[in-house]
Structure 1
Amino acid sequence: MTATVDISPREGDVLELVGAHFSNAEIAARLSISVRTVESHVSSLLRKLEVPDRRALAHRAPEPTSAGAVPVAPVLPAVLTSYVGRAGEQAALIGLITTRREVTAVGPGGVGKTRLALAVAAEAAGEHFDTVWYVDLVPVTDPEMIATAIAATLGLGEQPGRDMTESVIAALSDRHALLVLDNCEQVLDGVALVVERLLATCPRLTVLATSRAQLMVPFEHVYQVPPLSLPVDGESDAVALFLDRAAVDGTTLDAAAREQITVICERLDGMALAIELAAARYRTLGLDGITAALSHPLRMLTGGFRANERHRSVRAALDWSHALLDPVDQELLRRVSVFVAPFTATAAAQVAESDEFLVADGLARLAEQSLLVVTASPRGTTYRALETIRQYGTEQLADELSAVRARHLRWCLEQAAGLTVDRPDWRAGFDAVADDLRAALAWAAQEPEQRANAYRLAQRLAELTFTRTLIGESQLRYEQAASLSEEAATELRNAAAVAACRMRGDDLYRLYRAAAEADLSVGNTAGAARDLATIAISSYRFAGFVRQLPVEESDALVAQARELAGQDEAASVVVAVAEAGQALNASITAADGLPGNSVADTIALAVRAVELTHSAGDALAESIALDVLTGAQSWAGDTFAAATTTQRRVTLLASAPVTPAATHELIEALGEAAEASLGTGDLHAARRWATQLAEHPLLAEVGHRATSWLLVADAFAGNVDQVLAGSVRFLDAWRRAGSPARASLGPAVAAVAMIHGLQGDQDARQEWLEIFDHLDTPPEHAFGYGAVFDTTLLLHNGQLPEALERIARPPSEIWKWVTWIWHHWYVALRAEAAVLAGHPDARARLTEAQTIVSGNPLAAAQVERAAALLDNDPAAARATAARFDALGCRYQSERTTILAAGNQLPAGG
């Protein structure tokens, strides 16, 4: 019967989402808890379920069970067999990792480095380190993917604006953690670079690496892993291992047998893998047969260093095990060695070019001989070879290596093509084959005759990794696809769009430049025109992460684009959008606008660009044109027109194909739509757009950016519980991102500070005000959201003179800074403050406010309430409460009751 482990309901929720292959940030967002809380639950689950890493934990995610009990069943080879001996080595390594920053356990393949490292990690967890992470680097063939492998184990996704190594550093910077990096030898230089960065920036981190060669990094202490001990005073780890593995059927061996086993272990130099292979033959050969079979190949072991002899010991054991197989099984072992990740019998049959039933039978026989590890689970049965055996099998392929790899590549292409994101289990499906896709691509990219297939796989892997939110790898794969294509510009543009999603401005510029050059090299001047125009418009649109080009350089780009576009309609419309963007930029940066370039002229140019792009059927170009038009309308003070334009943009993009460029446009559009809806008093729409933004998978790791407008909308509405829950995700993500000082985060931070003030929690409010002090504070803070949120709190607390002072300046003096979404709120609050404080200009301010906020139902209700209070008409004031409720503004509804009762009114009011 399967044993069970009791886990808490919350751990059960986390385990289910780990099983669905969500990152820690995605889990935190779904459960409304912090990422650190998720990490704690994951660490607890790793200990309770006795698995070494996150991938193993995902396999344990159960089907629905009762009472929170999770079936415990073997998953990985690390826990399939008992751990024998090595007490001295384990104690030595524990001592080293508690005193040294980096320890590399070095030894030949098959000596037992992995099992020793896992045993050390298990003992270290909880006793010596807060957290222990295990990363198997066997599937990693590209040094660029090392940080990605570590991040996957830690449950991290990529945060736009930083690479995976930086994300790992942020996660580990303050953790007292042990990071186990297993099988480093095939990507040694890449591991060394990542480890050196981690050690330099994470002062409480310790790294335990296993490798066939040392890493050569600062702080490194090399520990030579010895073979298993041979008999001394009757004790022997080597013999104990043989006995354990040979006794799988319950057989016990007498003292005489132990003498023969000792001879076998001595001939195998105490090498753990070689002993396990020999022990697996005990049932069929007996000790005499094993001794006789081993004698011949070991005659060759003469001369050389002892370490080399140990390598030969394993090779001799592998040669011997291979020779004892039937030819059919030999062939199967060789052919499945191309898989770098666990594989199914169906996959093996395709690569081995054989019948699936026969292959399944052969895989079972190989598993019986300890040449494959079999893992059975509700999701199916998989097989894998230990790395040493896999390398041996690949070597044995010899002349058929290319043919087998070609079949593996074909299988990978089919798997990649069959992954569709509309299936709920597609993440798990992708993760199961991703390492093989990468390995097949690495081989195919070096084979001239496979260039076309390599391009197909790179392009598909780019799409898949983007959807999987591995956007750093997606950019890399698009660039790789470009290098394999005769027409590289399209893939370079895709790579540039991914760079935009990553907020990598320099890459965006470089890749669009490269796309233009690629277009020109094949005579596609229209394509080059689009690329150059896009560079210019990106400089204006994405000032937060794309470097601002000097005006003369931007003008030169647009002029060159215009010339290259010629009579091409598609290119000309993009150039028209860039020209409208230039006009908007000039309107904003010039004190009074440039001659011939008024705001009205800018709007006219933007409208023309929208019409041209719409007629051309270019949805992405139309989205950019609508964005420019939104900016122009906002700068003109037309809040309602700007809101309409943003919603038109979201609707347009909702039906566009999901591409990196469309995704980036949609994220930008959702933020602007939420912002604009707040400006017009449509809280329901603001929450709808803001919720879509908060739930966008590409923003899971940047919860501060994802939740910012939802926090503002909920703060306006007075949804205290939602603000407090969302602020946990915001603050957690902001700190993990390195506490960026982006001014765009100011409204959200100020909104949360206001809510804490309304709750009377001054300590929490002060914490958020300190965060605000860390951000850039542009003028719109003083006269826009800062004035709105500060005045709301002052009025709530009855601090009427302070409220009047905070919002004293007439809107006409500051309208440019409050136009976007704050103008209506500023004038409504200014009128309310004047009424409540008994200001002599209260009536005039009310009249002015009624004109300005006309069309904004929330602000209009606030002004109407103030007018009723000024007229001493509490019934009319109370009538506004129902309007506030219908508009989703609970706070103002409840405040109406207070004000209509005569509270917070001046004496005699």
Structure 2
Amino acid sequence: MAGVSAPVEVSAREAEVLQLIGRHLSNAEIGAQLFISVRTVESHVSSLLRKLGAPDRRALARRAAEPARPALPAPATSFVGRVTERAELAAALATHRQVTALGAGGVGKTRLALAVAADVAGSYRDGVWFVDLAPTGDPRMVAAAVAGALGLGEQPGRGMAESVSAALADRQALLILDNCEQVRDGVADLADRLLAACPQVTVLATSRARLLVPFEHTYPVPPLSLSGDGTSEAVALFVDRAAAGGARPEPAVRDAVAAICRRLDGMALAIELAAARWPALGPDGLTAALADPLRTLAGGSRAHDRHRSVRAALDWSHDLLDPDAQALLRRISVFAAPFTVAAAAEVAGVEAGTAADGLARLAEQSLLVVSPAPAGTRYRALESIRQYGAERLAVAGEEADTRARQLCWCLAAAAELAAGGDDWRARFDAVADDLRAALGWAADRCAPPPNTARPGTPGDAAPAGPHPGGDRAALRADAYLLASRLAELAFTRNLTGESQQRYEQAAGLAAEPARAAPMLRRAAAVAGCRTRGDDAYRLHRAAAGAARLAGDVAGAASDLATAATCAYRFSTKFERLPAPAEVLALLTEARQLAGTDPAACAAVALAEAAVLADAFGAAQGPPDNAVPDTMAAAERAVTLARRTGDPIAESAALDALTGAQSWAGDTFGTAATARRRITLLRSLPETPASAHELVDALGMAVETSLGVGDLPGAYRWGRQLADHPLLAEVGHRATAWLLVADALAGNVAEIGTRGDRFREGWRRAGSPATAVFTPAATGVATIHALRGDEAARREWAEIRDRLGTPPEHTYGYGAVFDALRLLHEGDPAAAVDRTAPQPDEVWKWVTWIWLHWYVALRAEAAVLAGDPAARDRVTAARAVVAGNPVATALVDRAAALLDRDRDRLLGALPAFEAAGCHYQAARTLVLAGGEHAERGSRLLADLGLVPMARPAV
């Protein structure tokens, strides 16, 4: 028997002979029982007399009644980790006489017990005995197994339990009873007897279920620790075992090892078996193989067959269950996330009381992890156990019915979540994986046969099998409903990528085109929220196709026109813009289909305004009739959209109007129109379409506020944009414009913190080469240049170059920020050269945000450089910037410098201070000279900037 302990001088065969002598058998009887000759028995008896120093056979019989010298099994491999568990279990043994180490099969109970036994052996005068009960299938034989491990023979007139109690009565010892779960009734009886008869004996049991004896103290053995940095106990065990196989994982792949260990839930047996496959499979192969862990995690040289594979360990636990518990185990395997008793009852098709009792029994067998909480107790099966149950479910032929019940439960859960509530996000997170799993099963059952459905349109369903709510059409309807609800919930939870996917999935599940079209439109709106212009364009076109199939000609016209608008309005969000001819063909078709439908006509008018604006924007300069035509088209789009009563459509049309107003030179009208959009959208329920429009409107409000010198307004809108839940995962989109405001205002401290946030978010998003962020990178690089931090300036210049440097960088914001830097460095002549083009020569690049900043700095550069055209530039700039407090103060300061009027120069200071433009306030003082210059220099130093070079005027 494995685990039997005997004196080291006595061989295993001699120990067996000694036990039989203790039972007072003759040599002939011993030979017959052991299948050896009488002569061989005599030889073993002689050896025992000599080794044990016994005078005769009667002394040997007495010796057989005494416990054998204790010795623990020697593990074949090193023990890794478990520092906390070793200390806690040792402490439990010091204060409790009956301790049960509980845990699932393969969690490492036996190894932990042996390690703790070695740690505490010195505390027990008579040592530690280890008894492996795995081979013992009959609870009535537990005492015999323990007696065998102790080297005790059967005593005349005594049962085995009495013999063990008598042998240990005066001993101070630790008795380890390993693998008790299959004979726990027998273990409970013996432990109860030993604790009463042997006051100095402590019992440590390892089991998958509690013994349920008086004074039992349970110690749950957790899986190995799973930290995310590759230094966990689970990773240490994996590395140790893989190294033993000749292939120690390098540090570079420790993250992959950590991911494998997390996938295995930190289960020691599973990790050891996986590590054994590492030399042959490596990280990629092992990760792929773990898609079927029960097949992959097999092998090894474990002492018992049940530890040779994860499947064998689970078979052992499964066979200990009664039929009802086995049925519950396989049915709850469909849960992908922790679940409640009520959920288990509904999905398993049993009463709540039956489910509660069954879950308790499974938890007692360590097949479920129990998590009590104020909101209700939840149960979870480790992944290997869940997959094992899923296999059993399929073999039992119950998968379809169980999955169908889960689908019904998920529909009810989704409906409840849609109703909201303070804690709905936590409730969504708790069931989201099950919603996804149920939808995945239903969608697979309803998948159209190959090549029978066009992308984005509904297809014929494959046979789906029985469904509690009806036939396969009912199953498909439920799958469609769950997909659409999950899409809505995911969007509200800010999981925009999943939301788009689920809306598209719902469209594919729709039984008819009329139900597919709205799903595709919502998917397109979510794609817009994600700045995926290509997807939005594709999905609007797909929606048009579905609408046409449904006979909704006006809807198809709106979708086609909206697709055309996307190509122009959101061109910076495309990876690959469609050809102009393709877009114009969509617009032509939309005109033909629109008829007199108000929504369709409004959508067509918006597309026409977008196309006209693009044609105007492509020109070298504004033709005489281009601005009025563009303005008229935009205003017509606004009028038609307002008639529809749809605020979202009106906001989109107002966006076209902002472009026309900006090109017309109406900077303040542009800002006012941007604010009108926010007013329209503010009170709308949050949907993908309204959220997309509001985020765009907030961004436009930030930009136009910068354009009119309203820095407090730019910060106000920028913070609202940054706080919008839609940008929670891509905060760099909002942070970018706040960085531009910081750079223009000279808020150096904010540049540092916000710059780090932008860089982190941008890198987390994959470092997209999006030129819309280039102004922010350019502004940050400029501030670092003014700080004298060349390394930081170079880093941000590299980011700027990776984002892209369009013509706007050369003639618009690039010129503005370069002029700011050159003027600070005392090189106004270079600033004059950098702003040499007349505004009407570079109108396309300065008209949006940068015009007022460009002409004001251009005028100051000319004055400081002594340019003969300085006064003309100041006069022209004053007319352009009238109404802009910051730009007007810059121009007033330039005029005062030109006229050498210090009082007027200082008169610009309050405007800068009111706008929060700290840099320009300090610069004004330096330019004023004298004691003012000293104060200005101190302010610049307080901002963290290098001293400003003051040119002679």
- Corresponding residue for residue 522 of structure 1: 550
TM-score, normalising length from structure 1? Answer: 0.67
* Residues 900 and 416 of structure 1, relative CA distance in 2, 3 Å threshold: same
Does structure 1 retain, via aligned residues, the 8 Å contact 2:506–2:519?
yes
* Residues 83 and 859 of structure 1, relative CA distance in 2, 3 Å threshold: farther
- Corresponding residue for residue 231 of structure 2: 126
- Corresponding residue for residue 427 of structure 1: 425
1:588 paired to 2:617: yes
The amino acid that maps onto 1:570 is A
Cα deviation for residue 496 of structure 1 reads 1.9
Q: In 2, distance between residues paired with 1:425 and 1:81?
A: 38
- Corresponding residue for residue 504 of structure 2: 479
Matching of residues 846-885 of structure 1 within 5 Å? 846-885=874-913
The amino acid that maps onto 1:475 is Q
Matching of residues 555-594 of structure 1 within 5 Å? 555-591=584-620
* Residue of 837, 850, 855 corresponding to 1:809: 837
1:900 paired to 2:900: no
Q: In 2, distance between residues paired with 1:543 and 1:856?
A: 30
Unaligned runs of 5+ in 2: 1-80, 86-100, 115-219, 240-250, 265-277, 446-463, 465-471, 934-947
- Corresponding residue for residue 372 of structure 2: 376
Cα deviation for residue 634 of structure 1 reads 1.8
Worse-matched range after superposition: 683-692 or 767-776: 767-776
SS at 2:709 equivalent: coil
Q: In 1, distance between residues paired with 2:229 and 2:684?
A: 51
- Corresponding residue for residue 754 of structure 1: 782
* Residue of 462, 467, 471 corresponding to 2:492: 467
Q: In 2, distance between residues paired with 1:867 and 1:368?
A: 86
SS at 2:370 equivalent: strand
Does structure 1 retain, via aligned residues, the 8 Å contact 2:605–2:637?
yes
Does structure 2 retain, via aligned residues, the 8 Å contact 1:864–1:877?
yes
Cα deviation for residue 680 of structure 1 reads 0.3
The amino acid that maps onto 1:848 is A
- Cα deviation code 1:500-545 (max 9, x no counterpart): 3333344333322221111111211011101111111111112223
Cα deviation for residue 553 of structure 1 reads 2.5
* Residues 402 and 811 of structure 1, relative CA distance in 2, 3 Å threshold: closer
- Corresponding residue for residue 627 of structure 1: 655
- Corresponding residue for residue 341 of structure 1: 337
- Corresponding residue for residue 406 of structure 2: 408
- Corresponding residue for residue 582 of structure 2: 553
Matching of residues 91-240 of structure 1 within 5 Å? 125-126=230-231, 178-181=257-260, 208-209=286-287, 211=289, 225-226=298-299, 229-230=302-303
Does structure 2 retain, via aligned residues, the 8 Å contact 1:899–1:905?
no
* Residues 689 and 866 of structure 1, relative CA distance in 2, 3 Å threshold: same
Q: In 1, distance between residues paired with 2:361 and 2:927?
A: 83
- Corresponding residue for residue 39 of structure 2: none
- Corresponding residue for residue 633 of structure 2: 605
* Residues 210 and 583 of structure 1, relative CA distance in 2, 3 Å threshold: closer
- Cα deviation code 1:276-318 (max 9, x no counterpart): xxxxxxxxxxxxxxxxxxxxxxxxxxxxxxxxxxxxxx54752
Does structure 1 retain, via aligned residues, the 8 Å contact 2:621–2:844?
no
Does structure 2 retain, via aligned residues, the 8 Å contact 1:711–1:752?
yes
* Residue of 660, 668, 689 corresponding to 1:640: 668
* Residues 808 and 75 of structure 1, relative CA distance in 2, 3 Å threshold: farther
Matching of residues 313-352 of structure 1 within 5 Å? 314-315=314-315, 318=318, 320-322=319-321, 324=322, 327=324, 329=325, 332-352=328-348
Does structure 2 retain, via aligned residues, the 8 Å contact 1:121–1:132?
no
* Residue of 802, 806, 811 corresponding to 1:774: 802
- Corresponding residue for residue 453 of structure 1: 478
Cα deviation for residue 737 of structure 1 reads 3.9
Q: In 1, distance between residues paired with 2:262 and 2:224?
A: 15
* Residues 593 and 560 of structure 1, relative CA distance in 2, 3 Å threshold: farther
* Residues 347 and 814 of structure 1, relative CA distance in 2, 3 Å threshold: same
* Residues 720 and 807 of structure 1, relative CA distance in 2, 3 Å threshold: same
- Corresponding residue for residue 509 of structure 1: 537
Does structure 2 retain, via aligned residues, the 8 Å contact 1:676–1:821?
yes
Cα deviation for residue 860 of structure 1 reads 0.7
* Residues 428 and 368 of structure 1, relative CA distance in 2, 3 Å threshold: same
- Corresponding residue for residue 706 of structure 1: 734
Cα deviation for residue 269 of structure 1 reads 6.5
Q: In 2, distance between residues paired with 1:133 and 1:661?
A: 49
Q: In 2, distance between residues paired with 1:767 and 1:707?
A: 18
Cα deviation for residue 419 of structure 1 reads 2.3
The amino acid that maps onto 1:474 is S
Unaligned runs of 5+ in 1: 1-46, 52-73, 88-114, 135-171, 186-198, 216-221, 231-264, 276-313
* Residues 742 and 371 of structure 1, relative CA distance in 2, 3 Å threshold: closer
* Residues 380 and 772 of structure 1, relative CA distance in 2, 3 Å threshold: same
SS at 2:737 equivalent: helix
Cα deviation for residue 584 of structure 1 reads 0.9
- Cα deviation code 1:259-286 (max 9, x no counterpart): xxxxxx55x47556755xxxxxxxxxxx
Cα deviation for residue 370 of structure 1 reads 2.8
Q: In 1, distance between residues paired with 2:104 and 2:716?
A: 47
SS at 2:257 equivalent: strand
- Corresponding residue for residue 19 of structure 1: none
SS at 2:842 equivalent: helix
Does structure 1 retain, via aligned residues, the 8 Å contact 2:533–2:573?
yes
1:439 paired to 2:437: yes
Does structure 1 retain, via aligned residues, the 8 Å contact 2:297–2:309?
no
Does structure 1 retain, via aligned residues, the 8 Å contact 2:229–2:255?
no
Cα deviation for residue 610 of structure 1 reads 0.5
Worse-matched range after superposition: 431-440 or 343-352: 343-352
Q: In 1, distance between residues paired with 2:724 and 2:238?
A: 28
- Cα deviation code 1:804-823 (max 9, x no counterpart): 33223333432332111111
Cα deviation for residue 173 of structure 1 reads 11
Does structure 2 retain, via aligned residues, the 8 Å contact 1:637–1:820?
no
The amino acid that maps onto 2:831 is A
SS at 1:544 equivalent: helix
| Structure having the higher Rg | 2
Aligned length: 677
- Cα deviation code 1:34-72 (max 9, x no counterpart): xxxxxxxxxxxxx99999xxxxxxxxxxxxxxxxxxxxx
Q: In 2, distance between residues paired with 1:640 and 1:174?
A: 57
Cα deviation for residue 399 of structure 1 reads 6.6
* Residues 644 and 370 of structure 1, relative CA distance in 2, 3 Å threshold: same
Does structure 2 retain, via aligned residues, the 8 Å contact 1:179–1:205?
no
* Residues 132 and 694 of structure 1, relative CA distance in 2, 3 Å threshold: farther
1:366 paired to 2:439: no
- Cα deviation code 1:728-763 (max 9, x no counterpart): 122233334444333222210111011112222222
* Residues 894 and 120 of structure 1, relative CA distance in 2, 3 Å threshold: closer
Tell me how large the CA RMSD over aligned residues is. 4.1
Cα deviation for residue 360 of structure 1 reads 2.9
Does structure 2 retain, via aligned residues, the 8 Å contact 1:712–1:747?
yes
The amino acid that maps onto 1:363 is L
- Corresponding residue for residue 61 of structure 1: none
Q: Identity percentage over the alignment?
A: 52
- Cα deviation code 1:187-208 (max 9, x no counterpart): xxxxxxxxxxxx9xxxx98775
TM-score, normalising length from structure 2? Answer: 0.64
Bigger relative contact order, structure 1 or 2 (CA pairs below 8 A, ≥6 apart): 1
Q: In 1, distance between residues paired with 2:663 and 2:429?
A: 47
Does structure 2 retain, via aligned residues, the 8 Å contact 1:482–1:491?
yes
Q: In 1, distance between residues paired with 2:258 and 2:582?
A: 48
- Corresponding residue for residue 496 of structure 1: 524
Cα deviation for residue 791 of structure 1 reads 1.2
* Residues 83 and 664 of structure 1, relative CA distance in 2, 3 Å threshold: farther
Cα deviation for residue 884 of structure 1 reads 1.6
Q: In 1, distance between residues paired with 2:419 and 2:106?
A: 33
- Corresponding residue for residue 182 of structure 2: none
SS at 1:180 equivalent: helix
Q: In 2, distance between residues paired with 1:667 and 1:173?
A: 41
Cα deviation for residue 592 of structure 1 reads 5.5
* Residues 788 and 79 of structure 1, relative CA distance in 2, 3 Å threshold: farther
Cα deviation for residue 383 of structure 1 reads 0.9
Matching of residues 71-90 of structure 1 within 5 Å? 82=109, 84=111
